[in-house]
A and B are shown apart, each in its own frame.
Chain A
């Protein structure tokens, strides 16, 4: 039995081929998710390129908690809780900026961007029992960085960062390897949207191959390369379950390309792999120079960008990353960042921006139709007639194959197999059932 302190039996709510609607609506479950998934576990926070210079900071969230992501004078990255140690005012209001200090406006306490309390106004008013050293901003206890991607965990103990990241690491590597310099830049800012629905709709939807030909049928009309009737073949490899809740559409380059083509890209600017700009000879030459041969560069570019959901909040998709930000049981934000390739010619990165805008964000041609589905989903969920959601597509039709990286992974066969959704829920159950 997996009844937790909250009294919720996740074994009952999450079965092998179905889940209960309460999981998307119940504020108590949302609170438990915050604690167990978003605070105890690892979540993606931001990218090093967003705070390139000493003093740079951006304001982010871990779960619902406000966190300052900043770089100190020594070049070290910090995640600081945005909460004054005096009486809990926020010390940082701006979304981003450059500052060596954060000064609380309420009574004037000042902190360095390492978090140290460096200034207490009218300090002689405190007795000797007060020690400044004990009142620095709280550093997020655990920070993990992989190739510039910064993750944090509010729990001082728990799963090791690289154990958590698991095989998703290879896919982050792939995103970076597509840049001539082997690094990506998230310096072009972000778009933010909200929808009135639970965050797990997006979690499941990013790796939902079943909805693509329907919700995104208009995207396909634009696609000059793929005919409208183009279908993803039914073969193993179309979906992947990497454990830890990390899931993907396409474990093999070819399967990913099929999905990219069906989902559609910016018509005139999209290469055969859906890897905006990376098939450009100048980019490929840059990659080849870094990796040692054109053959290897071709292999990387041909395998293209990933289409992966890194549990619980990082989405690697085409020329973008998206970040999931829950707000409440029935409200969610998504943040969209175009991924710039370091070392690529400027026109390639500009083209990637344009491709991003027409694809992602509030004016893009994919996301808004998805959120519309999520909002309708939430409305449907309010009807408490039969509260089960069926996730049985491709049930018992999967096997273990080696992916592009030679890693064995469980993969589904049927078109739009719901293997990733089942995998997400089984992982969710194990996390939520912990005491």
Chain B
């Protein structure tokens, strides 16, 4: 378990670095084929089949998202935000079908258009081991200000 915790923490830190540094392809490669990437809106416990979310991407749409980020025509990221995030409060649980459920908190500073924005929230990852390496099968990012008026979400959360 101690070893696993270290591996999981390293995984989250690496993902954070890929996101901060806009390494879209490497980030995209972290996902399983049946992945779900969810950023709810209007509440932490909303039913995404009946309530609108900010992001609710299946694997294909994760690909569309990164393709757009890489296109050079995503004006909301021209130039890209400068990002730096801290990941903390990591808790690890056993999930269904050998999935590993990981809860964590983040504090992200985003510098864009000469302004520094703070994004804070909690993340639930469901990680799965595929061919020996960890992959993200599910990721839910709950922003503290999810139901307020917010700026663009075209960097990686």
Q: Contact residues of A with B, CB < 8 Å? A: 95, 187-195, 215, 217-218, 221-222, 267-268, 333, 336-338, 346, 350, 353-354, 356-358, 361-363, 365, 368-369, 371-373, 375
Contact = CB atoms under 8 A, between A and B. Distances in A.
Given A189-B42, A356-B52, A363-B39, A222 B64 contact: yes
Contacts of B39: 363
28 contacts: A188-B52, A189-B41, A189-B46, A189-B52, A190-B52, A192-B147, A193-B151, A194-B150, A195-B151, A217-B73, A218-B68, A218-B73, A268-B60, A350-B49, A353-B50, A353-B56, A356-B52, A357-B56, A358-B61, A362-B54, A362-B150, A362-B151, A363-B39, A363-B65, A368-B76, A368-B152, A368-B153, A371-B152
Contacts of B46: 189
Interface of B: 39, 41-42, 46, 48-57, 60-61, 64-65, 67-68, 71, 73-76, 78, 113, 147-154
Contacts of A267: 64
B117 to A, nearest CB: 11
Given A193-B149, A372-B75, A353 B52 contact: yes
Contacts of B67: 221
A372 B76 contact: yes
Contact of B55 (A188, A194, A357): A357
A95 B147 contact: yes
Contacts of A363: 39, 54-55, 65, 152-154
Nearest to A194: B149
Nearest to A327: B149
A369 B64 contact: no
Contacts of B56: 353-354, 357
A190 B151 contact: no
Contact of B78 (A194, A222, A358, A372): A372
Contacts of A373: 75
Nearest to A367: B152
Nearest to A218: B73
B65 to A, nearest CB: 8
Contacts of A193: 149-152
Contacts of A356: 52
A353 B55 CA distance: 10
A38 B105 CA distance: 41
A215 B76 CA distance: 10
Given A192-B149, A363-B54, A371 B41 contact: no
A375 B113 contact: yes
Contacts of B61: 358
B151 A369 contact: no
Nearest to A360: B52
A371 B154 CA distance: 12
Given A357-B54, A362-B151, A375-B113, A191 B41 contact: yes
Contacts of A372: 75-76, 78, 152
B75 A215 contact: yes
A353 B49 contact: yes
A368 B149 contact: no
A173 to B, nearest CB: 24
Contacts of A190: 42, 52
A193 B145 CA distance: 11
Contacts of A217: 73
A194 B74 contact: no
Nearest to A334: B149
A161 B144 CA distance: 40
A355 to B, nearest CB: 11
A49 to B, nearest CB: 13
Given A189-B42, A350-B49, A358 B74 contact: no
B68 A362 contact: no
A169 B65 CA distance: 36
A101 B77 CA distance: 46
Contacts of B148: 192
A368 B154 contact: yes
Nearest to B57: A358
B52 A365 contact: no
